[in-house]
Structure 1
Amino acid sequence: MATRKLLADLIDQYRRESGCRVSVTSIGGVEAVRRVQDGEPFDFAVLASGALERLAVDGHVAVARIEIVRSGMAVAVAAGAPHPDIGSAAALRDAILGASRIGYSTGPSGEHLLKLIARFGIAQVIGSRIVQTPPGVPVASLIASGEVELGFQQLSELTGAPGIEVVGPLPPDVQLTTVFSAAICSASQRQEAAARFLAFLASEQTDAVKRAHGMEPARGCTPR
């Protein structure tokens, strides 16, 4: 879901520039992996690189993967709410301790937050106050509704969400940068067309759109 809005804009750009139409189904990473494993006829998949690597080992996607973007985590609160200090790891720990409810997502960002809480030594203190969203449900919706006071997710998923304000990225020494990559699915019947679109996703002409969505361009390709 972290790349949902980005892909929507890039698909529109690709259609204007090439005349080719692309349809993307944006769902939670866990569900996306399951559907690719089940052999649904997707032409390509965009996921965190680790998830794609596991799919490649089992032969569900091509071994070669193209890196698309690097995405960091951020913290958000409800619109108009005070912004806690998150300028250091110690300040972030205090902000978490001071929040009545903390929201986080499934996938890499959620796993990272739980590790941070364990590292801070506060898991037992706040265990009853942390709320995990169901797969595909944005943390921003919990913040906007007042269900949680402090939310953690990929910056791209928080940017522009209604009813919330982004406090800022995690401090550098506790930040998690996730690389999202793309690979052609083994079930694809249009692999050449898929390869052309993936090359576009990794091209320099998409850099400005990626940055507008709070992500940094990533360029790399695993060997075949």
Structure 2
Amino acid sequence: MKKLFNFAALTLLASLSLSTVAQAEEIRVMTSGGFTAAYKILGPKFAASTGNTLDTAMGPSMGKAPEAIPNRLARGEQADVVIMVGYALDDLIKQGKVDPASWVELADSRIGLVVREGAPKPDISSVGGLKKTLLDAKSVAYSDSASGVYIEEQLFKRLGIEDQLKPKSKMIAKIPVGSVVATGDYQLGFQQVSELLPVPGVSFVAKIPESVQSVTRFAAGIPVGAQHREQAKALLEYLASSAAQSDVKATGLDSVSR
């Protein structure tokens, strides 16, 4: 089965190579955190096969940071591809900044928990276990992206522990949540799994229970005015292809049901 899958992947990349190598270009990509680990694996494979190069800028899908993708576009920065949280991409489409016909769904991302490497792993397999873990914790960190907004504005309320968590929890801006857990500054760290797994010095515990989970769908599109539309379209087709799914899943993301 693996040989068949590898053959399919090679076949797809070969077809992309034939269609684009004669018109190889530098593709400007803006990508947000949750899909970045998968992109770092898949992007070089696409580039090596097609002859295109990828000029990549990282930034969140939303927020006030100057690096945020909407803010980059608002300043007039050029992009051929944007990869971001689906509803944030939809906002850009409504604003007329991204071609609606270019929308491609890439992966689903779920929230997980890490503790400092070597620390005991709490049991969060049930809602009750998650609630107890949060109440027992001395400090809790979560991201300033979609997962953190959900935790701060909805999860604590749904668990009925908002007042208890407010004094000991904090939204962490710009840096991976796992990094502040690795240093011991915070006991628990919540973020999308794909953003937790690459961080050294932490141990992944589990995804939070599905009944209180928030699934973030990552999608991609081509901005209006993109300079290299054909190459951008080929990249999006590859990132969303069945041939790319083993790499997508390896980074902690889940495939989109098609």
* TM-score normalised by the chain length of structure 1: 0.94
Contact residue 85 and residue 92 of structure 1 kept, 8 A: yes
Contact residue 62 and residue 185 of structure 1 kept, 8 A: yes
State the 1:110 CA deviation. Answer: 0.6
- For residues 161-195 of structure 1, the C-alpha deviation after alignment (integer angstroms, 9 at most, x for no partner) is 10000000111111111110000011311111111
- For residues 97-135 of structure 1, the C-alpha deviation after alignment (integer angstroms, 9 at most, x for no partner) is 11111000012101221211011121111211111111x
Contact residue 76 and residue 164 of structure 1 kept, 8 A: yes
- Distance in 2, matches of 1:218 and 1:144, equals 31
Residue 67 (1) aligns with residue 105 (2): yes
Contact residue 156 and residue 213 of structure 1 kept, 8 A: yes
Larger radius of gyration: 2
Residue of structure 1 aligned with 2:164, choices 100, 125, 144: 125
State the 1:215 CA deviation. Answer: 1.0
Query: What is the match of residue 160 of structure 1?
Result: 198
After superposition, the Cα gap between the structure-2 partners of 1:190 and 1:55, relative to the gap in structure 1 and judged at 3 Å, is: same
Residue of structure 1 aligned with 2:241, choices 196, 203, 220: 203
- Distance in 2, matches of 1:127 and 1:49, equals 28
Aligned partner letter, 1:199? E
Query: What is the match of residue 182 of structure 1?
Result: 220
State the 1:219 CA deviation. Answer: 6.1
The runs of 5 or more residues in structure 2 that have no matched partner are 1-32, 63-67
The runs of 5 or more residues in structure 1 that have no matched partner are none
How many aligned residue pairs are there? Answer: 219
- Distance in 2, matches of 1:142 and 1:68, equals 29
Query: How well do the aligned residues superpose, as a CA RMSD in angstroms?
Result: 1.3
Aligned partner letter, 2:185? E
Residue 85 (1) aligns with residue 123 (2): yes
Query: What is the match of residue 78 of structure 2?
Result: 41
Contact residue 37 and residue 55 of structure 1 kept, 8 A: no
Aligned partner letter, 1:42? A
Aligned partner letter, 2:74? Q
- Distance in 2, matches of 1:77 and 1:182, equals 31
Query: What is the match of residue 52 of structure 1?
Result: 89
- Distance in 2, matches of 1:145 and 1:55, equals 37
Q: Identify the range of structure 1 (185-194 vs 143-152) with the bigger mean alpha-carbon deviation.
A: 185-194
State the 1:27 CA deviation. Answer: 1.5
State the 1:218 CA deviation. Answer: 2.2
Contact residue 37 and residue 60 of structure 1 kept, 8 A: no
Residue of structure 2 aligned with 1:21, choices 53, 56, 61: 53
- Distance in 2, matches of 1:67 and 1:181, equals 4
Contact residue 39 and residue 60 of structure 1 kept, 8 A: no
Aligned partner letter, 2:250? A
* TM-score normalised by the chain length of structure 2: 0.82
- Distance in 1, matches of 2:257 and 2:127, equals 30
Partner SS for 2:56: coil
State the 1:79 CA deviation. Answer: 0.1
- For residues 40-90 of structure 1, the C-alpha deviation after alignment (integer angstroms, 9 at most, x for no partner) is 111110011100000000001111310011111101100000111101111
With CA pairs under 8 Å and 6+ residues apart, which has the higher RCO, 1 or 2?
1
Q: Which residues of 2 match residues 127-146 of structure 1 at below 5 A?
A: 127-134=166-173, 136-146=174-184
Query: What is the match of residue 147 of structure 2?
Result: 109
Aligned partner letter, 2:40? A
Return structure 1 stretches of 4+ with deviation > 4 angstroms.
none
Identity of aligned residues (%): 30
